[in-house]
């Protein structure tokens, strides 16, 4: 089947890779021989002429002309001349807080990006990443990319750390530079190239000082709208370009070359237009000397341009070109004005009179450009723009309908607050504006600031009160007439825009209008800009807002529109979409409620929209109306005390709120197949999905309404117990923490869990003990330090009094109520202290915590005993198992005894279930357990007897766990209540999970476990769909076991794969000080039922058994499951398989292989092609939100709809 294997190889090479080593730079292949390469137009059928041009035909984002750096650099080349350089890098959770733990494309640590290496060159160095040679760009060309810039000292630096430059011949122009400061999240940059008729390149540059702590990464570079339009049929009123495209007649002779050859701007054709480019002088425009500010003329080459100022002009798209600007860098000139006047103009009755201009309005939300029509009688405002439009020259068109001689007055006005840019270039007066030599009008007086309040303050209550501008739009009416809150975005649009400013720069814009169906509204209309971006409108600066703040609005997307609401944080320079809606093909109106939450000032809201106004449905507009802010004042009253913290989420969120930050949020979900709530099995619960669509954030926080503690110490003697049910499952899930935040104090961690705890609900609790009369809030925080699986919450309950002893303690949030005699030296610490275990058992990391006791002779003399005791547990109705992990130093650490101490009415009580393990010394965490059979209240106790050891001697404890039922033997487990002593080896990426057998008929998982033989039983499993291509593995390791000359391992396994062609493999290994060896493996389909195996195990040294599931040489689906592991010391393996110690699956005869290959190959091709399509679809669905409005569900993209899989298995699965 050479043809099939050739096609298979081709598909594998084309398939986006997830997780494997980064590809070497791919070779450019032009399959149709076109000479028009890298010009943003696909001339070949497969667009191979546009491959490796700094972008690809398609990417994981689903957008054309984008480089996601997944497996290729797309032709980008590092041209640095020092060790400080750009290199491909893969995201990693292990670098959390230092480097990106996930890329922007996939949003997981599967993904790749480009990163600048650590700067170690004195005194400073520059890393440069340059694109291939690109051939021409349209005027609407945008370069978009996502970057992460993080590190200390960024707010103090004066030099931008990241710049994007355009190189054309000997000219270099800065298109964009990073703003001051940085944030540990991906941010979008947008740069505009302008029309470029020839070849050019772009370069990302980063300059850092020696040993700078800044971290810099770059991902998803996109060239948007950079190609010229393709040939098309033109209407009778359109202008025909030579290459066949069409442009509107009012865009001819407007200063922008829309045709590839620029014939729409031909000098002869445009001779009747009056043009001023400011290259030589002011033309016939005059600067008014009577205003507080002058207009100035200069070029970027001769100006020390501030970050917000123009880096080039519009006419020549170079630093040498001239433009007009207003000096904005003098704080004393706030609210100052500059006037620029046209010559006297006479309207032409046969032609329209309009002005096309290009303005640069950037860096300030309050600077504005106003255009007036001045006649002998009056000065009338015709047009105005306010706000930050972006760092480029944007086209505007202003129509004049005067019937008498007039002149145009252009006013640049400086607002208050941020400095910014106000600049003009390329003023084009249409032939209908005839220049005349009439007598000049007398200059009207400039209306400078007047009123009872000084500059920078707002006047209200008929001049009786002055407000600082920081008090405007703070969701609290400071003025009696509430005028300070009337232009802040809450409006029905009956009296204007209500504070919404149109900041569109493209063919669409927002405008107020009256619609027949609903009345006043804010709707889309054709815009004058040259870009093809979405229409944008922004509120003034808002905040602070309260915890329960929501925005409500009525909206219609029209039959084909798209609408979104974004939140822009001015202090962090971030923007994320809080809500969006896509058209459902109707013109119906709906109401949206968007949670804004508690936010500091300053932030702004933005409306973004797109619709085809020229299409068949263009007359049916996209619009919004009746926008209101509800409960947004930070002083809004808290919910009624009876609401409290208890909630089962069946009728909403109760008094809990989502803390809005950056898009990773808790969501309310209904029970559905494979994901049911805890309350009824059919109700609602809260969840977070770290691998879900468009989760750019790092943490999701659920925060309670402020709670008021009892006012007196006597009333607050009894604390309260918060009980809740949680679920954390999947092969790589992150961290869940419970915190409390008292007023005026920092947050305190009360409880935390990390990694998978199985696809079952667990109960946990924590005592809350606030100070008398002190307000406090409770917070559930989910960290996105894992990407496969989900975390869920349900049934929060508060009861009076402290909680009983915790059934699971990892010591990550504290001592869990364990107490020691004051004179003894038990203490809680992490592995970074320099003595004791280098890592804990829970996390396997230096930052993880455990309890440790120094047992040297000076701390614990020979024969002296110290006891670590838990809080009291209630009496037991059934037998319970107490398990724990311990670690001993190598020299006379002393002896450890673990037992259950039962309380009696008189006396100390009985000691039962005592365990005095034959402690093995050495650098490893080891597992211990004992059975507790008690009838009264009892405690878990750990007694250490001193052995007179050296000063560095110690014993450490971690992951103490109490569960119902008996204890398993070493390396044995039926998985009914967890993985026993089996756990994911530290440092591994994937983990095994465990769950109930109950599942749908379509699931490849076993429908029954082996222990009980029912769907109520549990087993361990690996979903092969989440293992990446290239033999990725998930391992499950036993606790360390003593050396043996012959012991038995018995287990049951399930490997049933669709088509029986899976390359997946189950392997049993032994690992120890002498290395690792395989003692058994099975590959591919084995049976439709549970299979059993008995293996003889021998090892001359201490060892661990490792069960390894791998996906094989190519991606596959299905489940490998294990159940009823039993390890018995001793040589008696009563099984005919006992002597098959090194056995693997029996090989198939050659003839059988040939037959199977003939059947399997076509199936594999189909599966791989399907996987490729699904992978690409996943990228477009998850990242291109503006093109996909599907709601986010509970299931992770990697999991089937009949169950959920939750990430990374912690050593003890369990309940608390």
Q: Mind giving me the DSSP string for 626-655?
A: EEEEES-STTPPPPPGGG-S-B-SSSS-TT
Whether residue 293 sits in one domain with residue 404: yes
What's this model's pTM, rounded to 2 decimal places? Answer: 0.80
Contacts of 782 (CB under 8 A, 6+ apart): 666, 688, 690, 699, 700, 701, 734, 735, 736, 737, 791
Whether residue 482 sits in one domain with residue 572: yes
Whether residue 392 sits in one domain with residue 320: yes
Distances (CA, A) of 156 to 159, 183, 309, 362, 625: 9, 14, 20, 22, 43
**Would you say residue 538 lies in a domain?**
yes
Whether residue 761 sits in one domain with residue 622: no
Contact indicator for 488, 538 with CB cutoff of 8 Å: no
Token pair listed for 462? 């008929």
Q: Return d(Cα 989, Cα 785) in angstroms, integer.
A: 11
Smallest CA-to-CA distance from 366 within 385, 352, 381, 347 is with 385
Radius of gyration in angstroms for the set of CA atoms belonging to the chain, rounded to a whole number: 35
Q: How many CB atoms lie within 10 A of CB 286?
A: 15
Question: What's the distance, Cα to Cα, between the start and end of the chain in Å?
Answer: 57
Token pair listed for 1147? 């090989």
Residue 139's Cα: distance from chain center in Å? Answer: 32
- Provide the domain count of the chain: 6
**Would you say residue 506 lies in a domain?**
yes
**Would you say residue 608 lies in a domain?**
yes
Identify the domain boundary among 964, 994, 1013.
964
Whether residue 604 sits in one domain with residue 485: yes
The phi and psi torsions of 1211 (rounded to 5 degrees) equal -60, -40
Smallest CA-to-CA distance from 963 within 982, 948, 976, 947 is with 976
Q: What is the pLDDT of residue 690?
A: 81
**Would you say residue 286 lies in a domain?**
yes
The answer to whether the peptide bond before residue 544 is cis (omega within 30 degrees of 0) is yes
Whether residue 281 sits in one domain with residue 198: no
Residues of the chain with confidence (pLDDT) below 50? 1-20, 23-26, 60-61, 641-642, 716, 906-907, 1029-1030, 1136, 1138-1216
Q: Return d(Cα 295, Cα 414) in angstroms, integer.
A: 12
Residue 880's Cα: distance from chain center in Å? Answer: 42
**Would you say residue 625 lies in a domain?**
yes
**Would you say residue 1182 lies in a domain?**
no
The full length of the chain comes to: 1216
Q: Return d(Cα 492, Cα 520) in angstroms, integer.
A: 7
Residue 36's Cα: distance from chain center in Å? Answer: 38
Q: Is 934 helix (H, G, I), strand (E, B) or coil?
A: coil
Whether residue 1089 sits in one domain with residue 991: yes
Contact indicator for 841, 958 with CB cutoff of 8 Å: yes
Smallest CA-to-CA distance from 650 within 666, 665, 671, 664 is with 671
Identify the domain boundary among 380, 410, 435.
435
Q: What is the pLDDT of residue 796?
A: 95
For helices 1150-1183 and 2-14, the axis angle rounded to 10 degrees is: 30
Whether residue 986 sits in one domain with residue 960: no
Contacts of 1200 (CB under 8 A, 6+ apart): 674, 1002, 1003, 1004, 1025
Q: What pairs with residue 791 in β-bridges?
A: 688, 728
Residue 1102's Cα: distance from chain center in Å? Answer: 44
Q: What are the DSSP E strand ranges found in 683-838?
A: 684-688, 699-704, 707-708, 720-732, 735-742, 747-754, 762-768, 775-783, 788-800, 808-809, 827-830
The phi and psi torsions of 658 (rounded to 5 degrees) equal -80, 125
| Long-range CB contact pairs, 974-977, < 8 A, 24+ | 974/1011, 974/1018, 974/1123, 974/1124, 974/1125, 975/1009, 975/1011, 975/1018, 975/1019, 975/1020, 975/1122, 975/1123, 976/1011, 976/1012, 976/1017, 976/1018, 977/1018, 977/1213, 977/1214, 977/1215
**Would you say residue 922 lies in a domain?**
yes
Identify the domain boundary among 1074, 1105, 1129.
1129
- Can you give the CATH number for the domain in which 1055 is found? 2.60.120.200
Q: Return d(Cα 315, Cα 1177) in angstroms, integer.
A: 42
Whether residue 705 sits in one domain with residue 581: no
Whether residue 793 sits in one domain with residue 814: no
Whether residue 1026 sits in one domain with residue 956: no
Contact indicator for 770, 859 with CB cutoff of 8 Å: no
Q: Is 693 helix (H, G, I), strand (E, B) or coil?
A: coil
Contact indicator for 661, 600 with CB cutoff of 8 Å: no
**Would you say residue 1163 lies in a domain?**
no
Helices then strands, each counted (H, E), the chain: 2, 70
Q: Residue 998 sits in which domain range?
A: 982-1129
Whether residue 214 sits in one domain with residue 306: no
């Amino acid at each position: 089947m050479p043809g099939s294997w050739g096609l298979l190889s081709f598909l594998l090479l084309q398939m986006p890779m997830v997780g494997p080593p980064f590809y070497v730079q791919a070779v450019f292949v032009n399959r149709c021989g076109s000479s028009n390469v890298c010009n943003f137009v696909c001339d070949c059928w497969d667009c191979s002429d546009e491959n490796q041009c700094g972008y690809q035909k398609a990417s994981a984002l689903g957008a054309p002309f984008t480089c996601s750096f997944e497996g290729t650099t797309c032709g980008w080349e590092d041209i640095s001349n020092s060790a400080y350089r750009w290199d491909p890098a893969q995201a990693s959770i292990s670098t959390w807080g230092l480097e990106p733990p996930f890329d922007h494309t996939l949003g997981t640590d599967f993904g790749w990006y480009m990163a600048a290496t650590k700067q170690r060159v004195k005194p400073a160095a520059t890393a440069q990443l340059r694109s291939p040679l690109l051939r021409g760009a349209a005027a609407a060309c945008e370069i978009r990319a996502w970057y992460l810039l993080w590190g200390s000292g960024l707010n103090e630096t004066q030099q931008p750390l990241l710049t994007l430059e355009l190189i054309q011949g000997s000219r270099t122009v800065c298109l964009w530079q990073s703003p001051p400061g940085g944030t540990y999240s991906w941010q979008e940059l947008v740069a505009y190239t302008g029309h470029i008729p020839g070849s050019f390149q772009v370069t990302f540059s980063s300059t850092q000082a020696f040993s700078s702590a800044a971290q810099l990464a770059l991902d998803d570079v996109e060239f948007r709208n950079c190609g010229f339009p393709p040939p098309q049929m033109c209407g009778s009123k359109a202008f025909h370009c030579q290459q066949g495209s069409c442009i509107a007649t009012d865009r001819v002779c407007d200063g922008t070359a829309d045709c590839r050859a620029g014939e729409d701007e031909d000098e002869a054709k445009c001779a009747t237009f009056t043009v001023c480019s400011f290259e030589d002088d002011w033309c016939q425009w005059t600067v008014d000397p009577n205003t507080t500010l002058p207009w100035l003329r200069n070029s970027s080459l001769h100006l020390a341009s501030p970050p917000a100022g123009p880096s080039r002009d519009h006419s020549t798209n170079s630093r040498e070109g001239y433009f007009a600007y207003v000096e904005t860098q003098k704080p004393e000139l706030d609210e100052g004005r500059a006037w620029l006047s046209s010559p006297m103009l006479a309207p032409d009755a046969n032609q329209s009179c309009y002005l096309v201009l290009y303005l640069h309005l950037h860096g300030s939300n309050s600077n504005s450009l106003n255009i007036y029509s001045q006649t002998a009688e009056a000065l009338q405002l015709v047009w105005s723009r306010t706000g930050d439009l972006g760092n480029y020259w944007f086209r505007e068109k202003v129509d004049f309908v005067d019937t008498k001689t007039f002149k145009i007055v252009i006013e640049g006005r400086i607002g208050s607050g941020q400095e910014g840019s106000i600049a003009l270039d390329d003023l084009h007066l249409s032939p209908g504006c005839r220049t005349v030599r009439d007598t000049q009008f007398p200059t009207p007086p400039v209306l400078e600031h007047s009123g009872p309040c000084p500059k920078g303050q707002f006047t209200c209550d008929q001049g009786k009160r002055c407000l600082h501008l920081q008090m405007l739009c703070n969701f609290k009416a400071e003025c009696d007439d509430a005028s300070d809150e009337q232009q802040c975005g809450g409006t029905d649009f009956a009296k204007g825009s209500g504070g919404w400013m149109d900041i569109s720069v493209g063919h669409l814009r927002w405008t107020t209008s009256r619609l027949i169906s609903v009345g006043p509204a804010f709707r889309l209309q054709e815009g004058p800009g040259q870009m093809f971006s979405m229409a944008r409108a922004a509120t003034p600066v808002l905040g602070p807002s309260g915890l329960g703040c929501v925005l409500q609005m009525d909206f219609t997307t029209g039959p084909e529109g798209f609408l979104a609401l974004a939140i822009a944080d001015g202090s962090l320079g971030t923007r994320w979409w809080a809500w969006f809606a896509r058209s459902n093909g109707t013109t119906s109106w709906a109401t949206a409620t968007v949670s804004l939450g508690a936010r500091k000032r300053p932030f702004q809201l933005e409306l973004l929209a797109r619709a085809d106004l020229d299409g068949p449905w263009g007359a049916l507009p996209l619009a919004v109306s009746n926008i209101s802010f509800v409960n947004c004042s930070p002083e809004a009253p808290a919910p009624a005390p009876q609401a409290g913290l208890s909630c089962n989420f069946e009728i909403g969120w109760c008094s809990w709120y989502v803390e809005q930050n950056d898009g990773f949020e808790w969501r309310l979900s209904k029970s559905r197949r494979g994901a049911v709530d805890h309350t009824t099995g059919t109700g609602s619960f809260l969840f977070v999905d770290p691998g879900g669509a468009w989760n750019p954030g790092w943490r999701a926080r659920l925060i309670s309404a402020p709670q008021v503690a009892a006012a007196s110490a006597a009333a607050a003697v009894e604390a309260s117990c918060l009980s809740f049910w949680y679920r954390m499952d999947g092969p790589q899930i992150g961290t869940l923490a419970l915190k409390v935040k008292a007023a005026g104090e920092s947050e305190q961690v009360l409880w935390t869990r990390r990694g998978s705890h199985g696809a079952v609900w667990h109960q946990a609790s924590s005592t809350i003990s606030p100070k008398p009369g002190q307000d406090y809030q409770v917070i559930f925080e989910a960290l996105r330090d894992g990407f496969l699986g989900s975390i869920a919450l349900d049934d929060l309950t508060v009861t009076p009094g402290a909680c009983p002893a915790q059934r699971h303690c990892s010591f990550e949030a504290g001592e869990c109520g364990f107490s020691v005699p004051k004179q003894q030296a038990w203490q809680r610490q992490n592995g970074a202290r320099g003595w004791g275990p280098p890592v804990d058992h829970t996390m396997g990391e230096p930052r993880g915590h455990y309890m440790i006791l120094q047992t040297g002779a000076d701390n614990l003399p020979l024969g002296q005993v110290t006891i670590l005791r838990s809080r009291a547990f209630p009496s037991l109705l059934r037998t319970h198992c107490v398990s724990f992990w311990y670690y001993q130093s190598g020299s006379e650490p002393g002896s450890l005894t673990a037992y259950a101490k039962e309380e009696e009415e008189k006396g100390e009580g009985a000691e039962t279930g005592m365990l005095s393990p034959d402690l093995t010394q050495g650098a490893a965490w080891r597992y211990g357990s004992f059975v507790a059979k008690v009838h009264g209240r009892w405690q878990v106790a750990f007694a250490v007897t001193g052995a007179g050891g050296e000063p560095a001697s110690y014993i450490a404890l971690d992951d103490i766990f109490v569960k119902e039922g008996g204890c398993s033997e070493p390396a044995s487990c039926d998985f009914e209540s967890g993985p026993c002593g089996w756990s994911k080896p530290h440092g591994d990426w994937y983990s095994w999970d465990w769950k109930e057998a109950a599942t749908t008929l379509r699931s490849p998982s076993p429908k029954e476990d082996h222990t009980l033989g029912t769907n109520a039983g549990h087993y361990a499993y690996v979903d092969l769909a989440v293992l990446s291509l290239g033999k990725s593995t998930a391992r499950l390791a036993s606790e360390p076991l003593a050396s043996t000359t012959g012991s038995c391992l018995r287990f049951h396994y399930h490997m049933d794969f669709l088509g029986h062609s899976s390359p997946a493999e189950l392997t049993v290994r032994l690992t120890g000080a002498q290395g690792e060896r395989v003692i058994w493996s099975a590959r591919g389909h084995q049976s439709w039922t549970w299979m059993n195996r008995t293996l003889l195990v021998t090892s001359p040294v201490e060892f661990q058994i490792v069960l390894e599931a791998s996906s094989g040489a190519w991606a596959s689906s299905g489940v490998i499951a294990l159940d009823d592991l039993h390890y018995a010391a001793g040589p008696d393996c009563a099984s005919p398989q006992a002597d098959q110690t090194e056995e693997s699956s029996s090989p198939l005869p050659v003839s059988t292989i040939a037959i199977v290959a003939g059947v399997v190959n076509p199936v594999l091709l189909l599966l791989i092609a399907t996987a490729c399509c699904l992978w690409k679809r996943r990228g477009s669905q998850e990242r291109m939100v503006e093109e996909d409005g599907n709601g986010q569900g509970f299931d992770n993209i990697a999991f089937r709809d009949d169950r959920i899989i939750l990430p990374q298995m912690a050593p003890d699965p369990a309940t608390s």
